[in-house]
Amino acid sequence: MHILIHRADGDTDPWVADFAELLPEAEVVVWREGEKARPCDYALVWSPPQAILRELSEVKAIFNAGAGVDAILKFGDALPAHVPVVRLDDAGMGVQMAEYVTHAVLRYFRRFDEYEAQARAGQWRPLPTHRKEDFSVGVLGAGVLGGRVLEALAPFGFPLRGWSRTRKQLAGVECFSGADGLDAFLRGTRVLVCMLPLTPDTHNLLDRAKLSSLLPSAYLINVARGAHVAEPDLLTLIKSGRIAGATLDVLRNEPLPMQHPFWQEPRITLTPHISALTVRRDSVAQIAEKIRRLEAGLPVAGLVNRQQGY
């Protein structure tokens, strides 16, 4: 069996080594631009270039080495329709998302962002505490990873809300769904955590109107994709105080250009797309297991629905 692998960072050796250990029956073929790769049974890609598409039409399944599949679905009809695309199910990313989001929520709730600013200005001044009942946290995109984040937040006692495209029931979480449920979800949310997949429906979803419908002095935590947020609208709302702060792990252009105004805005906290890094070994173990199941004619979890876009 042959597995074609492509990594934009070129760092394929550790992946090859993990496959050798966890799926010894397979030989890994590293894809190189301009070279015709030998026919392969499966492919593992992350943010692949257009030039690899020819090879992808010959495999039995394409595995995406990350949480979001937008960087592969962007090829649209050029992506062979008969080849299933399989995403990673958590594979060590859920706990990282939970750590990141919990940290950001607690930082705002306990006003560490303001204490950091005070400390820089040499000010020693206790601030009034926020009330938990005024600090509802809403996860927009309550899927596998969103559910994991809500679970991690549960012990702190914030009112929890979740929005998903189709109705979900999550213990201890007020659930909203569909286009009709979105406005009600936003209207009662103080801290909005964006965990949506990027699809044509969610592109620019968080514009001035949507962000303005959050509770007063709201916060935004974006760990999904930069293109969900209309960046100039967010900046305007932050400058006016309508939005009290934002923690952004994902930006429309990454790395964020040095001249971008977000760098200068103290109420925006930026991190370089690190909220949940792909854990190589867990990912290879999961993919190896799925390949074994596919070879045995068994179903696998994580099949991407191209119509839905995730």
Which residues sit at the interface with ligand OXD, rule CB under 6 A? 66-68, 278
Surface-to-core class of residue 41, CB atoms within 10 Å of its CB (0-12 exposed, 13-18 middle, 19+ buried): middle
Categorise residue 172: left if φ over 0, alpha if ψ from -120 to 50, beta otherwise: left
CA 94 remoteness from chain centre: 10
Give least dist CB 283 to ligand OXD, A.
Answer: 10
In angstroms, rounded to a whole number, what is the distance separating the alpha carbons of residues 305 and 310? 6
Least separation in angstroms between residue 66's CB and ligand OXD is 3
Closer of 107 and 225 to ligand OXD (Cβ):
225
- The helix (H) or strand (E) run that includes residue 213 is none
Residue 69 Cβ, how far from ligand OXD at the closest point, in Å? 8
* Cβ distance to ligand OXD smaller for residue 208 or 280: 280
Among 141, 134, 123, CA closest to 193: 141
Active site amino acids: 225, 273
* Helix, strand, or coil (residue 140): strand
In the complex with ligand OXD, which residue's Cβ is closer, 232 or 272? 272
Q: Which is nearer to ligand OXD, 68 or 159 (CB)?
A: 68
Tokens linked to 92 = 């060590």
Q: How far is the CB of 276 from ligand OXD (least distance, A)?
A: 6
If one counts every other C-beta atom within 10 angstroms of the C-beta of residue 132, the result is: 12
Least Å distance between CB 253 and ligand OXD? 15
Q: Determine if residue 168 is left, alpha or beta; phi over 0 gives left, psi from -120 to 50 gives alpha, anything else beta.
A: beta
Residue 145's φ and ψ, nearest 5 degrees, are -70, -40
Q: Which residue is nearest to ligand OXD (CB)?
A: 66
Which residue type does 146 have? G
User: Among residues 155 and 255, whose Cβ is nearest to ligand OXD?
Assistant: 255
Burial (CB < 10 A; 0-12, 13-18, 19+), residue 46, is middle
